[in-house]
Amino acid sequence: MRCYIRYIIITISFIIFNAHALEINLQKQEHIISGDKYSFKSSVLDEEREIFISLPENYEHSAHHYPVIYVMDAEFLFDLTRSMVVIRAARNYMPESIIVGIANNTGKRIDMALELYDDNGSPFFYGDNLGQAARYLKFFRNELIPNIEKQFRVNSHRTIIGMSPSFGPVLQAFWSEPDLFSGYIVLAAEIGKKLKSGVTVGDKLIKAISDKNRANASIYIGTGSRDIIKRGAKEAALYVDIPAKLKNITNKNIRYKFEIVHDEDHYGMSIPGIQHGLETIYARGIWDVNYREFWNSADPAQALMDKYQALSAHYGFKIIPIEKSFHSINNMLKTAEILYRQKKTKDLIPWLTLATEYYPHSPAIYSQLSKAYGQAGNHKLAVNSAEKAVKLAQDTEDMNIYKSMLETLMK
């Protein structure tokens, strides 16, 4: 024990020392943000709300429409959700997505809580304005979603994330307005508590998940193990009993996961919870995109297109491969570089032509296409593609790179 404490003290001292060194040496260069903050005046809520929005990195290069993830408690969960989505999309575990965060800047977070009661009839949540989840869904349906759809290129697939009090609108949407969202992530869930009707949250979920008439959807319900210890054995058993009951009710339309997150508390479980929620909605087994298989196929471009058409058919919205990602071979530009080095011109040009369909405003793709035409000995098309790259790169920091390529071709 003493060795352990000594190790902790040394580690903390090392961190403090290095933090001091950084304070001396670091110089601020620019402000980095993960998205944009908007002010939104809601008539339904009769207040002004802060809305955070993050777009995919390649949003301006594509003509694609993206799924949207709506995040309650944005001041806590927006950056966390965005980071996970960026990483998972870059690894081909899910599609690139638009993230919309709804911040609690008005101090009315408790309004979203469901009116829940324990077995003795005592309220679980306390506040003067509980039970307004339906009102928040009206805000989504009548105001926020139409505005997002008007201003950004979005498709019909929507996910909603809520935690503790703010899971109220998530559950209310799942069992009362199933057309509003396709994915649901419930964090710090309370499935053993009773609604005003006397029905437990768990029983209400069983009924909704068993409904074979509803559209395809995915739902994740998670809680921390430290919460479960406080709630007792009866609550813990529900996370085994409910999936066991649902196993006997075959409903291919609904994908679900109930989980007790080991060694996490009420809010700490949000980190693994969001990750596992996204995995529930976008199953790894379906999202197994192996670019190495494309390289060795008879027609890489056709193989890629077939894979993403299959994914699109499964999820009900168009999904496209990512243009680029950090040091990964599993994207279009990196694969183009590999095909170029291997001098597979017959495969490279169709690959990049397909890429221009997915990302018609990308100077990087047209630059690669110019190199491919040059390798094939087609000087005219190489110049045309280089000119397109220069035009698309106007007023960007890479403008001179593309101009230099064009000037070299014109000599």
pLDDT in tens, 351-384: 999 999 999 999 999 999 999 999 999 999 999 9
Rounded-to-integer distance, Cα 325 and Cα 37, Å:
25
Pinpoint the residues of the chain covered by CATH 1.25.40.10: 291-410
Strands of the sheet containing 98-102, edge to edge, are 36-42, 47-54, 98-102, 66-72, 154-163, 183-187, 217-224, 254-261
How many alpha carbons lie under 13 Å from residue 296 in its C-beta half-sphere? 4
320 compared with 29, residue with greater pLDDT: 320
Nearest alpha carbon to residue 311 among 324, 299, 322: 322
Pinpoint the residues of the chain covered by CATH 3.40.50.1820: 36-281
Averaged pLDDT for residues 218-241: 94
| 35 band by pLDDT with thresholds 50, 70 and 90 | confident
Q: Which fold has domain 291-410?
A: 1.25.40
Q: What are 373-382's pLDDT values in tens digits?
A: 999 999 999 9
Average pLDDT, the chain: 89
* 36-281 is a CATH 3.40.50.1820 domain: yes
Averaged pLDDT for residues 44-65: 93
Instruction: Quote the percentage of the chain above a pLDDT of 70.
Output: 92
Averaged pLDDT for residues 400-404: 90
Averaged pLDDT for residues 303-312: 95
Rounded-to-integer distance, Cα 31 and Cα 21, Å:
21
Averaged pLDDT for residues 61-89: 95
pLDDT at 26: 56
Q: Is the pLDDT of residue 11 over 70?
A: no
Residue type, position 53, single letter = I
